[in-house]
Amino acid sequence: MAEALVRPIAALARDLAQGRTTSRELVEVALARIADAGGEGGRAFTKVHAQGALLAADVSDRLRKEGVVPSALAGLPVSIKDLFDIAGDVTTAGSKILRDAASATADAVAVARLRAAGAVVIARSNMTEFAFSGIGINPHYGTPLNPYDRPRRRIPGGSSSGAAVSVADGMAAFALGTDTGGSVRIPAALCGIAGFKPTRARVPLEGAFPLSTTLDSIGPLAPTAACCATVFQILAGEEPRPLVAAALPGLRLGIPKNHMLEDLDIEVMRGFESAIQRLARRGAKLVELAVPEFDEAAKANVGGGISPPEAYAMHRKWIDREQEFDPRVLERIVRGGFVLAADYIELLATRARLARRFTRANYDVDVLVMPTVPRIAPPMEHVERSAESFRLANGNMLRNTYLIN
């Protein structure tokens, strides 16, 4: 039954429009999958809004009968990452520290826009504590396992771990996540779905618990890129419009000859090569090019980059409660307290300078293509073996996505 939700948004919307299903049926399927003891519902979510979702689904079905269908998302169950405010809920951001915080008095702007579009909020999705790793481990609420090769207990990717698992495992039609250094893109890639990090501030950040005020961005996770485009238009407050596919003949695909394509797992390398060759056979032109900005960005990020000092500024008031932190997250936050103001300012200036150079005028290509991650999802036991194994795995997960920021 869960497979009923692991379908493109357009197909689900078509089934609803033609009366082949109802919002209530879709929500019931999602709730059944969440409650399945053999699945990941108990770890993928920090709170399930079962009754509220069923009521919202019934309202959606009644409105549809009256001809009121706000958008293609109307009646579809969505999971919300647990760093977005939902009126009446405590926003824990995957932490123990915020467990007893005051409940939110209003929805985050992104959540409010999804509700206005008719989406049905089904649950709050689990995440890396304070969104600060690309692995997806959470010692407080459990870690949802990757739906692929579950017997090997592979990581889901982070920080939007529950978001990705909720979509890939049929517990939501799409998910709302955030991405600072890869937190939408990484779990989407590892769980076999699509994830999109928009340009920062295209989606308002009000009501989303911050990690990095410079790099935070809100984005969707969904079965396909077209699904992500549909959700993004709603999140950005844009008029819905069809996603027009680019004509492949003559399209110039830039393939950066940097460390982004080095030291790849064989499965990643084969998948990437297969994808670009399929595009080439359809008429796209493959253009290998050096991108010195990536090399410079990698050097600038050696000390951790912009996120640690900005995270420290946000979390330093809680540092003395270290026993309540995930130690792997706390280590990265504390590191930010040792960054000098002059070095932080230089990082911001370097980022701005590289962004000014990294333009289409300087690179005669239409698109840059590269693997999202250099590794397939490793088993949890390999990542949790030691602090060093976690650092290495986290660095590998973030290696390619972080540079794009």
Residues 255, 370 contacting (CB under 8 angstroms): yes
Pairing mode of beta strands 194-195, 252-256: unpaired
24-53 per-position pLDDT tens digit: 999 999 999 999 999 999 999 999 999 999
Q: What's the confidence (pLDDT) of residue 5?
A: 82
Bridge partners of residue 289, in order along the sequence? 256
Residues 311, 130 contacting (CB under 8 angstroms): yes
Residues 215, 307 contacting (CB under 8 angstroms): yes
The secondary structure of 308-327 as a DSSP string is: HHHHHHHHGGGGGGGGGS-H
- Catalytic residue chosen out of the listed positions 71, 79, 159, 161: 159
Q: What's the confidence (pLDDT) of residue 1?
A: 45
Active site includes 285?
no
Is the four-CA dihedral 309, 314, 315, 317 of positive or negative sign?
positive
Residues 122, 79 contacting (CB under 8 angstroms): yes
Question: pTM higher than 0.85, yes or no?
Answer: yes
Backbone angles phi, psi at 79, to 5 degrees: -100, 145
- Catalytic residue chosen out of the listed positions 79, 81, 197, 307: 81
| Closest to 173 (Cα-Cα) out of 227, 109, 117, 118 | 227
Q: What's the confidence (pLDDT) of residue 404?
A: 84
Grouping H, G, I as helix, E, B as strand and the rest as coil, residue 255 is: strand
179-224 per-position pLDDT tens digit: 999 999 999 999 999 999 999 889 999 999 999 999 999 999 999 9
Q: Which pLDDT band, with edges at 50, 70 and 90, does 2 fall under? A: low
254-292 per-position pLDDT tens digit: 999 988 999 999 999 999 999 999 999 999 999 999 999
Grouping H, G, I as helix, E, B as strand and the rest as coil, residue 84 is: strand
The secondary structure of 99-160 as a DSSP string is: TTSPPPSS--HHHHHHHHTT-EEEEEEP-SGGG--SS---TTT--PPPSTTGGG-B---SSS
Answer whether residue 76 shows pLDDT above 50: yes
| Closest to 122 (Cα-Cα) out of 136, 111, 130 | 111
Pairing mode of beta strands 194-195, 217-222: antiparallel
Pairing mode of beta strands 217-222, 285-289: unpaired
Domains and CATH numbers, the chain: 2-235 (3.90.1300.10), 252-404 (3.90.1300.10)
CA–CA distance, 153 with 305 (Å, rounded to integer): 30
**Stretch 217-243: mean pLDDT, rounded?**
96
Residues 123, 166 contacting (CB under 8 angstroms): yes
Q: Tokens 């000859």 belong to which residue?
A: 257
- Catalytic residue chosen out of the listed positions 79, 133, 183, 212: 183
Grouping H, G, I as helix, E, B as strand and the rest as coil, residue 180 is: coil
In angstroms, the Cα distances linking 1 to 39, 159, 171 are: 13, 28, 10
Query: Looking at residue 208, what DSSP letter applies?
Result: B
Active site includes 96?
no
Active site includes 274?
no
Query: Looking at residue 2, what DSSP letter applies?
Result: G
The secondary structure of 20-37 as a DSSP string is: S--HHHHHHHHHHHHH-T
Answer whether residue 317 shows pLDDT above 60: yes
Backbone angles phi, psi at 2, to 5 degrees: -60, -30
Tokens (6 digits) for 223: 């079965």
Instruction: Beginning with the edge strand found earlier in the chain, give each strand of the sheet holding 252-256 in spatial order.
Output: 285-289, 252-256, 367-368
98-153 per-position pLDDT tens digit: 999 999 999 999 999 999 999 999 999 999 999 999 999 999 999 999 999 999 99
Residues 207, 227 contacting (CB under 8 angstroms): no
**Stretch 12-27: mean pLDDT, rounded?**
98
- Residue percentage of the chain with pLDDT more than 90: 93
In angstroms, the Cα distances linking 152 to 6, 159, 351 are: 22, 20, 39
Q: What is the mean pLDDT of the chain?
A: 96
Q: Which pLDDT band, with edges at 50, 70 and 90, does 3 fall under? A: low
